[in-house]
Every structure is written in structure tokens, then in C-alpha cells.
Amino acid sequence: MTRIGSLWVWATVLLGIALWGSCAPPEHIVVLVTVSNLPMDATSLGVSVQLNGVPAMQNFTVTGNLGSFAVRMDNREDQRGPLQIQVASLAGDGCKIREGSTNLNTAPGGFSFAAEVAQVDVDAAGRHKCPLTVTVNGQGTVTSTQSGIQHTCIGSGASPVVCTQDYLRGATVTLTTTDSPRTYAQDWSGSCSGTASAPCLATVAKPVDVGVSFLPRICSPDGWCWMQPQPHGDHILGATAVGTDIVVAVGNHGTIVQCKSGTPSCLPFPSATTNNLNATWGLDSDTFYAAGDGGVVLRCSLGMRKCQTLTTPDSQQDLTAIWGSDANNVYVAGSTGLLMRCAATSPTCTALNTGTQEWLFGLWGSDANNTYAVGDTGTILRCGAGSNSCTMLSSGTSKDLGKVWGSDANNVYAVGLEGVIVRCSAGSSSCTTLRPSMAAQPTLNDVWGSDANNVYAVGSGGEVHRCAAGVSTCTPLVSSTSMTLYRVFGSGPDAVLAVGSAGTIVRCAAGQTSCITLKSNTTLDLGSIAGSSASNVIALGRAGTTLRCPAGSASCSPLTVGSAARLVGLWGSDPDNMYVAGDAGTIFRCSGTTSRCTQLDSSVSTDLRDIWGADSRNIFAAGKDGVAVRCSNDSNSCVPFNTFNYGNEIKQVWGSDASNVYLVGNTGTIARCQAGTSVSCSLLSNTSGILFSGVWGSDVNNVYVVGSAGKIMRCNGRNSACTSLSSGTSNALNAVWGSSADNVYAVGDQGTIVRCGAKQNTCTVMSSGITESLSAVWGSDPAHVYVGGGSQLVRCAAGSDICTATRLPIQPLSIWGSDLEHVYVFGFAAMRCAASTQSCVAEATGTELRLDRVFGLDANNIYAVGEYGAILRRAP
């Protein structure tokens, strides 16, 4: 007999196996299986065993004598019950020729059982079937579709889920993934490749294995999760290599991501804080540290995918820099002269005596006894492993120093304000000025070198200087840019990269007097760069922008997925059709079922200002230069149509149905459009000097348009006419909303709120009690109407001409609620308000980006969109 894993496959079966002796029960239950109707071309058997409907053991293969084999299980009570054994005859390529099964019951008292499996062809035409095996890691779904028949494999997140389905040899199967609100599919593996957000076509010509991992989304404590970009859109503030394969980056709201060499995207890493993380440093191939606001210091393990929060001396101080010489000498610096040492053996970091209250911004050391910290007013400290006090050096300057780096103990460079460069040595209490500060000189922001003779300092105005050991001055280089350079790093003397504002990346090389500009494929600021190898140099920056810049390449490739355009329009017809519109013609369709946003081809590149739909096939977006497009759920492309509003910006879109769609904007434009096979529009108003900024209606006969100089128009779709109403104000009106035709609110400058009714040509001016500009209005019912603007939230109710204002710590830009207790107010931050308490609390969105619009269908489908392509969904 031959043992395979924990199973025993018997080539010969002895009938006397039931004679186990009389002293004790046998240790095993044995099932003797005979296979009949074997095909001549079978080379092996595939066997699976289920007990009580669940796998009783791992699947196994029988070779050699295929006519019979035995299955052995431990003699335990939990091994008793209905048993099914499935047997497939396999061809040489592993595909099935015939199959069959047998059922028996391993009842108590029995120890030896016999069973026969009679096989039949897997296909009536004699064709073979090959297995497609899908492994799902994490929480998400993979759907396999072939000839209209679907099979799903649902991952639970607890452990990998493996699903197998047989297909006729040569069949083409389409595999798609469905995310969950808190996870997203990363990349295909096995026989599929590329991003798992795109379908994979797998040809099952032999047994096929496909895998996909669903990663946790980066979500805020209140459940706002990043839909776009992926994996996040927060600003990155620091990066470091962790071993030779991975770069870790940290940023706002506790964001941590890891970028592995050779992978097309970066992965979110579980953080232990929501505080901003400003700096990170890698100890070895597994451990890295991160430091940030509120005195937060994290010690993290890649292998364990976990961070530990260390105890620090002062939780009120912000930490700006981190560096270590070894596991027991990790230094963290920050505000008011705070400098601490952390050790691998302790959960607590210890404050050192620095003798200064100046902010410290840079840390670096040549060894445990020569660690340098630099900061404001020319502060330079040298610290040693055996002391709790640091020595203040004479820097030779009073200018703020921002960064420090050295090639060795005798060549330590610090750079800072007004272009100052100083060099320090381990044996000296004073530093040498290589480049004195001058008021006209740009600030130098960073310093790094490939060796002692190629040390680069970079800064504002594209400044690049090269310094060398033993030379008393540094040489200015031609950087080929005038943009500010924030950070510098290289994988070697000929591959030194400096990154900066507006996506600037320049590469400098030893022996060259000028640097060359690389194509970054972004216009967003880049503020961090680090590399684990020459092929894995990662530049990062604003709104989560992440690029990989391999040595020798003339361009960098993006690792983040999504658009960086500002998004301002948001509307949805149902959970699977939420539309977002914004700058540069950007339009997304988001699905609550797949938890995924797809960018559509809008056919225009003009900034879009709003989006609204009448039904699933008539979604309208419009914006600058009178541009408008119609989108449909049936297509990923939108079709432009003529609004006759040439050169004028359309501010808002609303309609009562597809035949009455209103577009309003500059020069008093009110266009009414009708959608059929195509879209035709007519101008109802085109008044010079008037800017219409809002439109809303209760029905086709009561459509309200508001704008500058207190202008309010009521339009009737049946006769295509608009009537001017008396608003009672000359202040600009910025937004309009109503609970019904008789309860319509227009809000605007100087705290203006007016209420209008369907049968009245004069509106009532209400008392808001404030003078700040109001730009948002929404209500759950006539008794609960919310108005926002400036730093105020105003509550109004039908039947009263007096509204109540509450000052908020944010500037409201948009308001929407799922019910009376969950009213969301969004802007540069967010609040959640409740009618029962008449109060608001901070809502943690997980980003400091400006969010211009919040909208939802119900409590499970709420979205917020804003600058840099941010799309957040509140996870149910």
C-alpha cells in the first residue's frame, strides 16, 4: 500500500480486514471501494469524500490499480453518519472522462464497509470535462459564466474559499468579481492576470486554477470607505523601504499602504490610528515604524499585518521625523524639542533631554552613537545610544533646518531656509557652512546622496546642488524645472530622482551638470519618494497619488486607480446606478451591488457642473461652455446634445421627467430639453446680466429657477413659459429645494431665505438671523428643512417665518439625510445632525479633502464626492 498525505490508498484489499482482535475497537473505519465501467484511457482517479454534506478529508488521487481502493478514517463518533464518495476517471491531462458516486452510512458499531461506484460518461457525446477551480481570499464574490449559466464562489473573509466547477474541454468561461462595501478585488492570479476589477476570459482546455484576493477598503471609523481612487485618496506624507521588496507609505488619517516590487498596485495596510502619520522608517524586511500627530508612534509587522501603538511621553505633541540605527535605538522627533527613543523590547518610548523647545524636523544617523536631529533656528542635536541627553552643536546658522542626511559619520549634511547647507562631523562640536543662507535664495527642502561624493540638496524654484566630501562648497546643477522640489532619493549614483510640485520628477546622475525631466503622468504635487530596489522606486503625494519610477525609464507609471478630477455632481436612480460628474468631462457610474465605480466615456473634456436623471436611460450632465451629454444605464458612453447655450456655463440640471429637463446657468439661461431618440432643447430665457444657479420643481407645472439679484422664475412645462416671481430680496439666490409645490425654499447671500408657493406670485422673506452666504438646502419633510452656508446650519419649518441658526465648525456645501436622525452636512469636513436632539456631531469621513456633494437613496446607499476624484460610500 502507498500513503498519500493522511489517506491510505490500497492496491489490494484483504477480506479479512474486519478481524481486528477482541481486546479493543479498531482505530480506523475502512471503506473498500470497487470501481466499475472504467474507461480504457483513464490514467488516474479523482476522489472526494463528504460526511454529513461536508468534506471529510482532502481530495486525493488514485493511480496504479484503478479498479479498487480503500478510504480510511479515524474511528470517532463524529466520523459516523451519511457518507458520499465521488469518483472521477481522469485522462492524462487531468480532465474527467467518467464519474460516479456511492452513498453509505458509517453507522455505530461498524468498522469495515464495502461500496461500488458505477461510472457513467460526463458527456453524452463522449467529450471530456475539465475542472475550473476558483480560490477566493477575503470577502467578495467571483462569478463564472458560460453559455448563460452562472456559478458563484463567495468568500467569507475568514479563510480561503475554494470552488470547483466542471466545463466541457475547450469551453471559454467569463470570470467577474463583485466587491463588498468594505473590500475590493485586487489582482487575478493563476490562469488569469491583471486587475480583478476587469473580467477574465479563461479557456478550460485542461484543469484551470484561478485566484483572487479581496482587500479591506480604507474606511473611516464612521464607515465612509474609499470607492475611488483605489486604494485611497488621502495625502501621503512619508515613505520608506522595508527590506528589498516593499515600500511603505503613510499619510493623513492614519493611512498606511505597502507597494511591493512587481505588483501593479499598492495594498492598504491595517493602521492602528486615525491621526495623521507624518513619517515612517523601516527596521528590517518585516518591521517598520510610523509617527504622527498627537504623539502617535506605531510599530508594525508586515508578516502579522498589524500595528502596535507605543506609549509616548506627550500625546499633545506632533511628531515629524523617525529614524533608527537598530532595533533598540529608534528615534522620533517632533514639536517643542521633543525627541524620544524607542526599543523593540519595550512598549514605551522614552523622552530624551534635548535642551531646546524648537521644532525638530529631520533625523538621521551614521550609527547608534551618532544620531542627528535638526530643526528651527539652526538647531542641530547629536544623540548617542548610551545617553538620555543630546548634545547641542554649533550649526553656524540661525535659519530653520528641515532635513539631515549623511554618507558617513564625518559627512552629515543639513539643509534649510534661504538655501543654507551645513556639514557636520562625528568628532566636532560645530558644523561647517557649505552654502550660507541668503534672503534671495530658495529654501532647500531635502538632502540625500548615493555616496560621499554625490550628495544632492533640492528645494524651491527647482534648486539642485551636488556636494562632495572634502569640498568646501556645493555645485549648483541645472534641474530643468522651476517647480519646487520637495524630496530626493536614488537607487544609485546615476538614478537620483527629485520630486515636487505639479507632478515634477527630475533625474540626476553622477558627473552630469544637468538633470532631465521624467514624464510623471500626473499634475498633482509629489511630496515623498522611497525605493526598495532599482525597479521599485515609488513617488507619492497629494490625494494618494502613487507612481513607480524604475531606474533607466523616461517615465513613471501610476499605481493608483481612478481619476484625479474634482467631482461636484451626484445623482442616482437606484442602488446600482449612482452617477457622479466633474471636471474634464469625468462621469462615473457606481453600483451598490458590486461596490464599484466605472468611469464612462462622456465624449467631452469640458468641466461638468451637475448631473440628474429622469430614468435609467435618460441621465443628463452639463457644465461649462453650454456642454451637455445624455447617458444611459445600457452603455458606458454618453452622447452630447445641443443646448443652444454656446459659451455659457450651465450650473444645474433638474427635470420632472425625460420630456421636461431644465438646464440653468449664466446669462439668464433656462433651457428646456426633451429626450426621445435624440435630445432637443429650446431656450425659455436668455437674459444678459442674470446668473441662474439653482433649479428644482415639484411637478411639471411648478419648476423654480433662482439666481442673482433675487431672481426667481416659475416655469410651466405644459406651455413652455416662465413667470418672474417677487422674491422680496435683491440678494443673489444660490440654491432652491422644496417639500412640495406650496413649500419651496430659495436661499442665498446675506443669510437670505425665502419661501414660495405654487399659487402665489410673491414669496415670503424669512428670518434666518444670520448674514452669511447660504448655498445648500434640503429637507426631510415640511417641518424639517435644513439650510447651510458660511459656518451656519439653519433649521426652518413650514408655518413659521423664523428659522433657527446653529454655528458649525465647518463650512456646509451640501446637505442630505436618510432620515430625521441622520442628516449629513458636508464640506471641508462633515457633520451628522439629528432632529430629536437639535444638535450635530462630527462625522469621520477619513479624509481632509473637500467633499462638495453628499447624496443617497437610503441609509445603505449614501455617497459623498469631491476634489481629486474622491468618491466615498458609507458602508452599510
- Rounded to the nearest 5 degrees, what angle is found at the Cα of 44, between the Cα atoms of 39 and 47? 105
Dihedral over alpha carbons 499, 501, 504, 507 (to 10 degrees): -30
In the numeric block, which cell numbers belong to residue 794?
439653519
Q: What is the largest CA-CA distance in the chain?
A: 107
The answer to whether 516 and 503 have CB atoms below 8 angstroms apart is: no
Please identify which residue in the block is written with the cell numbers 479633502: 849
Query: In the structure, what pLDDT confidence band is assigned to residue 786 with cuts at 50, 70 and 90?
Result: very high
Average pLDDT over the chain, rounded to whole? 93
In the numeric block, which cell numbers belong to residue 73?
478514517
The answer to whether 142 and 175 have CB atoms below 8 angstroms apart is: yes
| 220 has a pLDDT exceeding 70 | yes
pLDDT confidence of residue 83: 92
pLDDT confidence of residue 24: 56
Phi and psi angles of residue 760, each rounded to the nearest 5 degrees, phi first: -120, 140
pLDDT tens sequence across 239-295? 999 999 999 999 999 999 999 998 888 989 999 999 999 999 999 999 999 999 999
The answer to whether 758 and 741 have CB atoms below 8 angstroms apart is: yes
Ramachandran region, residue 595 (left: φ > 0; alpha: ψ -120 to 50; beta: rest): left
The answer to whether 730 and 737 have CB atoms below 8 angstroms apart is: no
pLDDT confidence of residue 564: 85
State the average pLDDT over residues 384-401. Answer: 95
Residue 370 one-letter amino acid: N
Three-state DSSP class for 645?
coil
- Most confident residue range from 360-364, 385-389, 614-618, 779-783: 360-364
pLDDT tens sequence across 484-532? 999 999 999 999 999 999 999 999 999 999 999 999 999 999 999 999 9
pLDDT tens sequence across 686-714? 877 899 999 999 999 999 999 999 999 99
Dihedral over alpha carbons 343, 349, 353, 355 (to 10 degrees): 120
169: Cβ–Cβ under 8 A, 6 or more apart, which residues? 95, 127, 128, 129, 130, 204, 205, 206
Q: Give the integer Cα–Cα distance in Å for 536 and 246.
A: 8
pLDDT confidence of residue 20: 39
pLDDT tens sequence across 738-759? 999 999 999 999 999 999 998 8
Radius of gyration of the chain (CA): 34
Q: Give the integer Cα–Cα distance in Å for 431 and 419.
A: 16
Residue 797 one-letter amino acid: A
Q: Give the integer Cα–Cα distance in Å for 221 and 117.
A: 56
Q: Give the integer Cα–Cα distance in Å for 110 and 123.
A: 37
Three-state DSSP class for 503?
helix
Percent of all residues in the chain with a pLDDT value above 70, rounded to a whole number: 97
- The better pLDDT of the pair 108, 326 is held by 326
pLDDT confidence of residue 11: 32
Query: In the structure, what pLDDT confidence band is assigned to residue 667 with cuts at 50, 70 and 90?
Result: confident
Counting every residue, how long is the chain? 876
The answer to whether 177 and 152 have CB atoms below 8 angstroms apart is: no
